[in-house]
């Protein structure tokens, strides 16, 4: 009769060993149907989705050969078989999962010092003493961690064991034996699985110590990628080959090893020994999905569907038919393909179907979940998928640009941010792409710059429309930001500046001349005025007051692009009228005693323009400047002489002589009528009479005073004789006063 594994109660275990609490793991997550007769599940599934069935193949991948169990004489039958099953074709211990590791050291003792067994087992216990072991209704399952065959340990010492599912400690006694002392076992715990998955550890023990799962699996290197093996004949897949020592992967603690720490292990002076090689057994069943691992669909726009879809191949690894299958995607994912409704048959190397998965986000943010594939009699297969939905456009800022410029090449800049990631910033000028901007990453806001070339540059310049947009990494094409628009006008034409008043080269007769100018430009920005290099602010309507003399006014203008124009006018201020001085003729009391008077005058003016002489209102043609003789005038005639002069500034001056009357018969011979007669006048007349000194015609006219008319006024008779001389003498001595 075969030896039956004992179920060690927690109280006995805790009294015997000091247990180091291992990390709690989400180990086993699902369990298959329980066989109605033999009461053990068809599979156990761990948190990674891998399911293991009782390993019953007699092909060296399961520990069922005579080398492991010599009492098995018949081929093993599957657990679901309905025919007679007894201990000749079904062992009393069935392994879902087995991982054995052996520690070996050299030295004086040498050889094996410890064997670790990690297992998930099924067992058939005897119902009566010496009765059948394999019998209907007596099957059960349990988890086992067993450390045994400890030899050559230091007495009274504590040792720590590290394995893929945690750590524990044990202490030796004075003889160097293990405390438990049961067949050389240092640690043994077996937890019956009585609760419903996933609470597989809610068993009889108040403090759980046995934790197995997720299942470790063969790996090319410790902790490296999983490397399951496949039987080419049956198509069945296993976590490893128990005939071959192998590294493992899958420990959630990262301890893909068996290690003992303590003083002088094995008596060879070392304190740590470890191995990364295990013997593995376990048949993988259910629905195998390839490729494995989390499928990241990336970032997609709201309302968009990812392309191309990802195709997953589902293979039936179970010994029986699986199906009909139901494929259920999480929210935001679409699952199609041949698996939905299909039934997969166990045809070597396994019947397959496909699931095509696409991502169509329905909400902003990260979306994760499992596409589940379920079917009667098989563990649920999961396709872990994730993606990010993004319906939020980037926030884009365009820094202020110059509105007007002389340069066709400009550098523009701004900032950009996005809830996921910015893909690019695009710039166009007048609808023509200028390419992408250079982005300098920042948190949370990035900056960007772009050198652009303006296309509307023909003078006087037309506004260039600058458009900037940003898109994020959401596929396809990204979310596009609101366009940021600006205008830049190129202008290379200088303002046209003219001064119309005071005009250059002119003379003005006011000390506050009016300023009239023009500054023409399509983008005129400012004008300034300076008089004689001194700025005048604000721009005046009139200049001054200015002193007489030369002056220069300058008007400068600038446009918004920085072009400049200027105009100057040099002019002369002359606000002082000319001064006219007339020295001859000089009438006395409106009477002039010469028939042909001489006009003598002088004009004082810095900027003379013209001088006009008028006789009795008539302009004299070609006068001799300053000395012009008029007449002879008829005695008694009345005349007026006028001298008009103007300067270049338009100032004018007028001097008038007269009106005066030509009065010749007055006795004023020597003084020609400019003063009362004297004795010299009478003597001059006597000389005329005696022929000593003849009189000039003018003197003769003044000397002919006789006879007097009734009013006592001379009435010349055309002769100068003694009567004239006597009359002049009487005027000299005051006897006559009427002339």
* SS (HEC) of 411-426: EEEEEEECCCCEEEEE
What domains sit in the chain, N to C, each tagged with a CATH number? 10-284 (no CATH), 287-390 (2.60.40.10), 395-490 (2.60.40.650), 496-573 (2.60.40.10), 579-662 (2.60.40.10), 679-732 (no CATH)
Q: Is the pLDDT of residue 37 over 90?
A: no
Mean pLDDT over residues 414-439, rounded?
96
Burial class (CB in 10 A: 0-12, 13-18, 19+), 560: middle
Evaluate if residue 130 carries a pLDDT over 50. Answer: no
Q: What is the pLDDT of residue 195?
A: 41
Q: 224 pLDDT exceeds 50? A: yes
Tokens linked to 713: 């006024």
Band (pLDDT 50/70/90 cuts) for residue 271 is confident
Helices (H) and strands (E) in the chain, counts: 4, 49
Res. 205: pLDDT tops 50: no
Q: Which of 223, 269, 232 is nearest to 109 (CA)?
A: 269
Task: Please count the CA atoms within 13 angstroms of the CA of 135 that sit on its side-chain side.
Answer: 9
pLDDT at 591: 82
Contact 378, 362 (CB under 8 A): no
What is the β-pairing status of strands 283-285 and 237-238? antiparallel
The pLDDT value recorded for residue 136 is 61
Q: How far apart are CA 663 and CA 380, in angstroms?
A: 153
Asked if residue 8 lies in contact with residue 205, where contact means CB atoms within 8 angstroms, the answer is: no
The neighbour count for residue 464, using CB atoms within 10 Å, is 22
What is the arithmetic mean of pLDDT over 420-427? 95
Please give the Cα distance from 336 to 609 (Å, whole number).
109
Q: What is the DSSP string of 301-366?
A: ETT---SSPEEEEEEE-SSS-B-S-EEEPPTTEEEEES-TT--B---TT--EEEEEEEE---SSEE
Q: What is the pLDDT of residue 474?
A: 96
Helix, strand, coil tally for the chain in percent (to 5): 5, 45, 50
The pLDDT assigned to 379 comes to 87
Question: Who has greater pLDDT, 342 or 233?
Answer: 342
Angle between helices 722-732 and 679-690 (to 10 degrees): 170
pLDDT of the residue at 29: 80
Whether the pLDDT of residue 594 is over 90: the answer is no
pLDDT for 276 beyond 90:
yes
What is the pLDDT at residue 210? 58
Q: Is the pLDDT of residue 417 over 80?
A: yes
pLDDT in tens, 447-484: 999 999 999 988 877 899 999 999 999 999 999 999 99
Pairing of strands 638-647, 652-662: antiparallel
Indicate the Cα dihedral angle 299, 302, 305, 306, nearest 10°. Answer: 0
Listed in sequence order, the residues at least 6 apart from 483 whose beta carbon sits closer than 8 Å to its beta carbon are 467, 468, 469
* Per-residue pLDDT at 93 exceeds 90: no
What is the band of 35 on the pLDDT scale with cuts at 50, 70, 90?
low
pLDDT score at 626: 80
The closest of 737, 598, 718 to 676, measured between CA atoms, is: 737
Q: Where would I find the beta strands (DSSP E) of 605-693?
A: 608-615, 618-619, 627-629, 638-647, 652-662
pLDDT band at 65 (very low <50, low <70, confident <90, very high): very low
DSSP state of 228: -
pLDDT at 36: 64
Q: List the one residue out of 64, 8, 54, 10 whose CA is nearest residue 31.
A: 54
SS3 for 43?
A: coil
> Tokens for 509?
């007769």
- Angstrom distance (rounded) from CA 263 to CA 270: 7
Higher pLDDT, 22 or 440: 440
**d(C-alpha 151, C-alpha 159), whole Å:** 13
Judged against a pLDDT cut of 60, whether residue 193 lies above it is answered with no
Residue 3's pLDDT is: 25
- Mean pLDDT (the chain, rounded): 83
- 524 confidence band (pLDDT: 50, 70, 90): very high
Contact 455, 416 (CB under 8 A): no
Examine the pLDDT at 525 and tell me if it is beyond 80. Answer: yes
Which range has the top average pLDDT, 57-61, 73-77, 131-135, 628-632? 628-632
pLDDT band for position 178 (cuts 50, 70, 90): low
Question: Count of CB atoms within 10 A of residue 293's CB?
Answer: 10
What stretch of H or E contains 700? Answer: helix 697-703
What is the C-alpha separation between 105 and 268, in angstroms, rounded? Answer: 8
Q: Match 């009438």 to its residue by tokens.
A: 587
Tokens found for residue 480 = 């596009």
Rounded CA-CA distance 193/140 in Å is: 8
Q: Smallest Cα–Cα separation from 402: which of 459, 452, 469, 438?
A: 452
Cβ atoms of 92 and 64 closer than 8 Å = no
Nearest 5°: phi and psi at 492? Answer: -115, 10
Assigned token pair, 80? 């679901």
State the average pLDDT over residues 372-377: 88
pLDDT on residue 595: 85
Nearest to 379 by CA among 47, 76, 58, 63: 47
Of residues 690 and 132, more confidently modeled: 690
Q: Mean pLDDT across the stretch 29-46?
A: 77
- CB count within 10 Å of CB 160 equals 14
- Asked whether the predicted pLDDT for residue 110 surpasses 70, the reply is no
Q: State residue 71's pLDDT score.
A: 41
Tell me 246's DSSP state: B
C-beta of residue 548 within 8 angstroms of C-beta of residue 576 = yes
Task: State both tokens at 15.
Answer: 């009294």
Beta strands in 502-563 (DSSP E): 507-508, 516-520, 524-531, 534-536, 549-559
Residue 47: pLDDT over 90: no
% residues pLDDT > 70 (the chain): 82
Q: What is the mean pLDDT of residues 341-359?
A: 85
List, edge to edge, every strand of the sheet that includes 627-629.
Answer: 579-584, 598-604, 627-629
SS3 736: coil
Is residue 350 classed exposed, middle or buried when 0-12, 13-18 and 19+ CB atoms within 10 A define those classes?
Answer: buried
- The owner of tokens 């499928």 is 295
Instruction: State phi, psi for 193 to the nearest 5 degrees.
Output: -90, 105
pLDDT of residue 625: 75
Residue 672 and residue 665 in contact, taking contact as beta carbons nearer than 8 Å: no
Are the beta carbons of 42 and 53 closer than 8 angstroms?
A: yes
Least confident window among 19-23, 116-120, 218-222, 557-561: 19-23
DSSP string for 67-88: TT-TT--S----TT--S---TT
- With beta carbons less than 8 A apart as the criterion, state whether 725 and 677 touch: no
- Higher pLDDT: 431 or 116? It is 431
Contact 297, 306 (CB under 8 A): yes
DSSP strand pairing (534-536 vs 287-290): unpaired
Q: Which of 145-149, 438-442, 555-559, 607-611 has the weakest average pLDDT? A: 145-149
- Closest to 688 measured CA to CA, from 673, 701, 677: 701
What are the beta bridge partners of residue 139?
124
Question: Contact, 287 vs 381, CB < 8 A?
Answer: yes
- 219 vs 248: CA distance, rounded Å: 5
Cα 76-77-83 angle, rounded to 5 deg: 135
Q: Which residue has the tokens 């093996």?
A: 229
Q: What is the rounded distance in angstroms from the CA atom of residue 57 to the CA atom of residue 90?
A: 11
Q: 398 φ, ψ to 5°?
A: -105, 120
In a 13 Å sphere around the CA of 373, the CA atoms on its Cβ side amount to: 36
Residue 76 confidence (pLDDT) above 60: no
């Amino acid at each position: 009769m075969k030896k039956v594994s004992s179920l060690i109660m927690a109280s006995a275990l805790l009294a015997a060993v000091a247990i180091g609490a291992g990390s709690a793991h989400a180990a086993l997550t699902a369990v298959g149907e329980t066989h109605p007769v033999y009461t053990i599940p068809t599979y156990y599934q761990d948190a990674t989705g891998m399911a293991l069935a009782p390993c019953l193949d007699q092909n060296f991948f399961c520990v069922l050969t005579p080398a492991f169990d010599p009492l098995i004489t018949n081929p093993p039958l599957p657990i679901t078989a309905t025919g007679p099953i007894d201990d000749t074709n079904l062992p009393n211990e069935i392994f879902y999962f087995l991982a054995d590791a052996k520690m070996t050291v050299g030295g004086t003792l040498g050889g094996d010092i410890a064997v670790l067994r990690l297992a998930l087992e099924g067992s058939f216990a005897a119902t009566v003493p010496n009765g059948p072991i394999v019998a209907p209704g007596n099957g059960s399952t349990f988890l086992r961690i067993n450390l045994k065959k400890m030899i050559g340990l230091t007495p009274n010492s504590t040792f720590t064991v590290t394995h893929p599912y945690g750590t524990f400690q044990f202490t030796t006694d004075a003889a160097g034996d293990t405390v438990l002392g049961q067949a050389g076992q240092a640690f043994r715990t077996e937890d019956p699985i009585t609760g419903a998955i996933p609470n597989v550890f809610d068993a009889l023990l108040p403090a759980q110590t046995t934790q197995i799962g997720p299942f470790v699996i063969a790996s090319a290197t410790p902790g490296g990628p999983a490397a399951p093996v496949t039987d080419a004949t049956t198509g069945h897949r296993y976590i490893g080959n128990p005939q071959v020592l192998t590294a493992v992967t899958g420990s959630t603690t990262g301890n893909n090893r068996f290690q003992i720490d303590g003083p002088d292990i094995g008596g060879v002076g070392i304190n740590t020994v470890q191995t990364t090689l295990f013997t593995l057994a376990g048949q993988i069943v259910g629905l195998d999905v390839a490729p494995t691992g989390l499928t990241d669909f990336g970032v997609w726009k709201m309302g968009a569907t990812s392309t191309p879809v990802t195709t997953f191949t589902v293979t039936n690894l179970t010994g029986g038919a699986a199906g009909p299958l139901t494929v259920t995607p999480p929210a935001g994912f679409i699952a199609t393909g041949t698996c939905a409704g299909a039934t997969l048959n166990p045809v070597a190397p396994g019947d397959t179907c496909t699931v095509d998965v696409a991502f169509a986000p329905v909400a902003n943010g990260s979306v994760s979940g499992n596409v589940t594939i379920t079917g009667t009699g098989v563990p649920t297969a999961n396709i872990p998928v994730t993606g990010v939905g993004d319906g939020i456009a980037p926030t884009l800022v365009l820094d202020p640009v110059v509105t007007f410029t002389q340069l066709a090449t400009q550098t523009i800049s701004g900032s950009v941010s996005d809830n996921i990631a910015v893909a690019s910033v695009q710039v166009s000028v007048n609808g023509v792409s200028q390419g992408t901007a250079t982005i300098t990453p920042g948190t949370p806001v990035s900056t960007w710059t772009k050198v652009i070339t303006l296309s509307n540059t023909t003078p006087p310049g037309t506004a260039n429309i600058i458009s900037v947009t940003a898109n994020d990494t959401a596929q396809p094409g990204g979310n596009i930001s609101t366009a940021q628009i600006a205008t830049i006008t190129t202008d290379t034409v200088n303002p046209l500046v003219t001064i119309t008043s005071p005009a250059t080269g002119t003379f003005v007769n006011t000390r506050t001349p009016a300023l009239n100018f023009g500054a023409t430009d399509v983008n005129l920005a400012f004008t300034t005025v300076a008089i004689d290099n001194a700025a005048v602010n604000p721009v005046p309507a009139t200049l001054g007051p200015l002193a007489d003399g030369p002056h220069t006014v300058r008007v400068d203008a600038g446009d918004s692009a920085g072009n400049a124009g200027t105009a100057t006018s040099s002019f002369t201020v002359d606000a002082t009228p000319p001064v006219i001085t007339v020295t001859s003729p000089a009438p006395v009391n409106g009477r002039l005693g010469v028939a042909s008077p001489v006009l003598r005058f002088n004009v004082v003016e810095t900027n003379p323009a013209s001088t006009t002489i008028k006789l009795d209102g008539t302009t004299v043609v070609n006068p001799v400047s300053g000395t012009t003789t008029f007449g002879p005038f008829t005695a008694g005639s009345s005349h007026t002489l006028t001298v008009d002069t103007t300067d270049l500034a338009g100032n004018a001056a007028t001097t008038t002589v007269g009106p005066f009357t030509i009065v010749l018969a007055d006795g004023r011979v020597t003084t020609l009528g400019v003063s009362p007669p004297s004795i010299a006048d009478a003597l001059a007349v006597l000389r005329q009479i005696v022929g000593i000194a003849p009189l000039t015609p003018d003197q003769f006219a003044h000397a002919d005073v006789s006879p007097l008319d009734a009013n006592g006024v001379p009435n010349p008779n055309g002769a100068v004789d003694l009567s004239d001389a006597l009359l002049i003498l009487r005027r000299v001595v005051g006897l006559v006063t009427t002339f």
